Structure 1
Amino acid sequence: MLSKEDVIKNYVKMSLNVIRTYDWLLDLYVLDFFQDDHWSKLPLAWRQSFDNIDPTTLGNVLCGQPVNIILPLSFLALKKAVDLLSIPRKQSISKKHITYVPDYSIGNHPRLKNLFLKHVKLKKRHEISLMAEIVKDVADQTKCKAVLDFGSGVGHLVRMLAYRYELHAAGLECQSQLTEEARKLDLELEYTIRKHITDEHMKKLHKPEHLNVKLTCHQQLTHIELPETLGTYGLVGLHPCGDLGPLLLKHFVSDDKVKFICMVGCCFMKLTDHGYPLSKYTKKLNSELSYPSREIACHAIEVYCDRLKKGNYEDLKIHAYRAALERILVDIDPKLKHAPVRSIKHSDTMNFERYCHLAMERLNVPLPTKTEVWLRGQTDVQMWRRVVTVYSLRLVLAPLVETVVLLDRLLFILEHGISCEIRPVFDPKISPRNHVMIARKQ
């Protein structure tokens, strides 16, 4: 019988085999659609099936629902392989009830129940509420009463872990202005709490610490002066960007003081060779993931499918506008390839020339004057359905690329003899990077 580690290795190997077969599709970066003639790069059978496909039907195809068109067998095989190999993304959270004691905890106070959601946007509310419960549960299991939150921002999560769940919590943030804002929000919260609990209970509150630190390597973490309450602690990372996630994993496996880690990855396109691959096994494989493939893996296939299925796809025309503009920019100067133009929302009243004028405002580049340039651009944007189709076909592979990144991290932890699991905790329609990696030391 295969061990858990061997099963994961097989999944990584098979997933990479599929990705290698479809590197050509993953690397069709949407900006270059017209410049590199992406449509011609699709197999003939795919072009015949998907040309002029209704976006609503395309949404059903992405979701695996029945459609009244004949799809190429090679595409159906790809879709099936991705579905079988990818880590499930459907939200699955434990219904286990966590009992918080003692009774004086402000987390049990009826008038303070929603206090921690003030100043917090919907997406963040969803994330910090579920993440805090996961962290509290793992902390109880490991008998660890302290946590260190990396990339803590203005401290929404660390504030909940401290005041509500009564953990000794500290947040590390590289931007000093965010750290200062976090401290101000702590004082605002305490001002409200004081109106509803006694002075005696106020003295018992666990107040979070906010540290201003910029990390460059995981060894640096061992030299940071932490509060005395963090003799041993758990690591928390809610969407650490790029290489910061792998940096936390390296610190976790190498430092005996760290008892557990709860982490949700993000921004895979910013990973370097220091952040992927991590595991010894994956490093032995042909495991390269290009920038376009890691970038597409950060997009929300569930939200995109819904928009297509519900007919809310008119604003997707903007992808064609941007791709048509890219061809103009490269013609002006090849150095303008992928230039950071201004982001413009689609409008039915906005023509292509107006879009270019608005998008190029920051570049200080004069607009073309030749009539044929604008005629070609207008012809390009009429092909917006093809642009949306190619983007959608690439998106089919997105969960598989994310799976490889996550399983590589899982293998890295297992190779160090530490138990680890991955749970789809967040609703992917609210928080696209919805997998929480949980590892505990014995």
Structure 2
Amino acid sequence: REQADLQRVFPDLYMNSLSNVLTQGMNRKKKHEVEALAAVVSWIARSVGANTVVDVGAGQGYLAQVLSFEYQLSVIAIDACSHHGRITNARAERIKKHYAAKMHKSRSEDRNLNMPKTVTCRVLSTDTFKTLSDSLLQKDDLQKANLTGKGVGEHSLEGLPDGNVPSCCVDSKPSLLLAGLHACGDLSVTMLRTFLECKDVKAVVSIGCCYNLLSEEVENADSQCGFPMSKGIKSAGLSLGKSSRDLACQSAERWRCLGKDAGLHNFELHAFRAAFQMVLFRYYPEILITSPAIGRQGKALRRQHHQRILESTLHHEESAHSSPSLSQKNCKKKGSCPTMNSAEAGTAKNKGTFEIPLSDTGNSTPKSCGAADFASSILEMDALFRGVSFNQSTKCEATKSVDKYSLFEKFSRSGLCRLGLHHLQDINFAGLWKETEPFAELIGPYWSLRAALGPVLETILLLDRLLFLQEQGNSLEAVMIPIFDPTLSPRNVALIAKKI
């Protein structure tokens, strides 16, 4: 799903280049998404005459603020987390000051500055959404909607009784556009149903994610679940299940961009997770039946490590070219490697320092699983990962001295801490790893085949939503367009629909 030529799909599309003030706090992925989606939403809003954009699942308000300040749209940001609402308001105030100063300098103070209004509301159903949209359509002041104020520009629907909703503004013929940047699970589905059922919603631009959190029901054809939505899929009796929906979240484009080392590193971690499940099966069976989740251990740290590898590899190549004798000397040093500096070789800080030599087998047992122990276990794993290359052709023989078993033991100890479990003295990590290691080489081919099916399953979910809209007749237009670069943002397909 390569990114579409947006200028061709949306004639006269204007994509503003965002200033540092607007992009503060955004990573490269978020900046790319917000730039593209804001331009598309602005184009769609103009085409349908929508006077208000509702940013559904707004988070910290990045999209809402760009639409408000850069595209001068009236925006309402909805999120279930009141903390996000406060962050959005505070950030918007800072941005407003910047724009006000800029306008004063250019003597264009007659222009009104739009600020996104925030609403704290957990959108659980289409009815909730319709109630909310009715309330929001009081033209100038959300406080007229009989909502409970939570500060300047922030409101909550909590405590609003059913049927006690103010009537819509009759005179102004208001219209809404619903926009969702990676609206999670059923939220993206609720947006589509609200678009159909609420006459004031003229268009929807939805980019879904978290398919694993979708509700699914095939037995009851009349149920309003996340999948299937369309009559066509329901009549076929197609069922995916949680495992397949998990798989639909795979990022095939990112896999293709991984280098050999990074790919092998990922397979190694999957092998550790599988072996750790054996630890739970043997020693903590009562925990295993609850389907525990340990998350992606050290995710941020591993990303930093991957970046360090890329940077230090380039540095090593330059050093080797300019001074080969020095490079060879460094590789002969015990415990040293061009992919890390001496400060990173095994030292980390967590209320003190500790060193993880490359030959460490990790025999120490954490006394408890508190925050400090958990942080230490993650830092220990990262220290080991820094000194390990999973590419067997590595130039540095010192890194080969770290065996996979010691990494597995560190991984397992960290996993036990994440689950709040005390380490039992009789856990035979070495025996379990010896038992499972022969199967580790199957992880790569197996996982690659599964990952290749991810886009197919995601396409089924997306086509179900498109078919659901197309089944409504000729009163609307609906298309699917990949608007992001898939290597930056794998969930890049926008479902765009408007009433005609």
TM range (shorter): 0.7 to 0.9
CA distance in 1, matches of 2:201, 2:47: 14
2:431 maps to 375
2:124 maps to 216
Please tell me whether residue 388 in structure 1 is matched to residue 444 in structure 2.
yes
Structure 2 unaligned blocks of 5 or more: 141-172, 217-224, 299-380, 389-401
Report the more deviating stretch, 325-334 or 282-291: 325-334
1:429 maps to 487
Change (3 A) 1:242 1:202: farther
Query: Which of 143, 150, 155 does residue 49 from structure 2 map onto?
Result: 143
Report the more deviating stretch, 253-262 or 226-235: 226-235
* SS of equivalent to 1:284: helix
The one-letter code matched in structure 2 to 1:280 is K
2:7 maps to 95
The one-letter code matched in structure 2 to 1:210 is T
2:280 maps to 329
Matches within 5 A, 1:8-47: none
1:242 maps to 185
1:254 maps to 197
2:460 maps to 404
Per-residue Cα deviation, 1:161-209 (whole angstroms, up to 9, x for no partner): 1111111111111111110110101110011112211375365222221
Structure 1 unaligned blocks of 5 or more: 1-88, 101-106
Which TM-score applies when normalising by structure 1?
0.73
Flag the structure with more relative contact order, 1 or 2, with Cα contacts below 8 A and sequence separation at least 6.
1
Matches within 5 A, 1:50-129: 89-96=1-8, 98=12, 113-129=19-35
* SS of equivalent to 2:2: coil
1:296 maps to 247
Change (3 A) 1:222 1:311: closer
1:434 Cα shift?
A: 0.5
The one-letter code matched in structure 2 to 1:272 is S
CA distance in 1, matches of 2:419, 2:71: 49
* SS of equivalent to 1:260: strand
CA distance in 1, matches of 2:39, 2:287: 47
1:439 maps to 497
CA distance in 2, matches of 1:377, 1:359: 15
1:306 Cα shift?
A: 2.1
Report the more deviating stretch, 194-203 or 129-138: 194-203
Change (3 A) 1:99 1:267: closer
1:342 Cα shift?
A: 5.9
1:333 Cα shift?
A: 3.3
Say if 1:144 and 1:234, in contact at 8 Å, map to a contact too: yes
Change (3 A) 1:309 1:137: farther
* SS of equivalent to 2:92: helix
Say if 1:169 and 1:207, in contact at 8 Å, map to a contact too: yes
Say if 2:55 and 2:77, in contact at 8 Å, map to a contact too: yes
CA distance in 2, matches of 1:187, 1:372: 57
Please tell me whether residue 339 in structure 1 is matched to residue 282 in structure 2.
no
* SS of equivalent to 2:239: coil
Instruction: Give the length in aligned residue pairs.
Output: 346
Please tell me whether residue 352 in structure 1 is matched to residue 352 in structure 2.
no
Matches within 5 A, 1:166-177: 166-177=72-83
Change (3 A) 1:382 1:368: farther
CA distance in 1, matches of 2:447, 2:112: 54
Per-residue Cα deviation, 1:100-156 (whole angstroms, up to 9, x for no partner): 7xxxxxx98x9x744321221211101110000110111121122321110111111
Query: Which of 53, 62, 67 does residue 156 from structure 1 map onto?
Result: 62
1:284 maps to 235
1:188 maps to 94
CA distance in 2, matches of 1:366, 1:168: 53
The one-letter code matched in structure 2 to 1:423 is I
The one-letter code matched in structure 2 to 1:205 is L
* SS of equivalent to 2:119: strand
1:364 Cα shift?
A: 4.0
1:325 Cα shift?
A: 0.8
CA distance in 2, matches of 1:205, 1:369: 64
Report the more deviating stretch, 130-139 or 202-211: 202-211
Query: Quick one: percent identity of the two aligned structures?
Result: 27
* SS of equivalent to 2:103: coil
* SS of equivalent to 1:127: helix
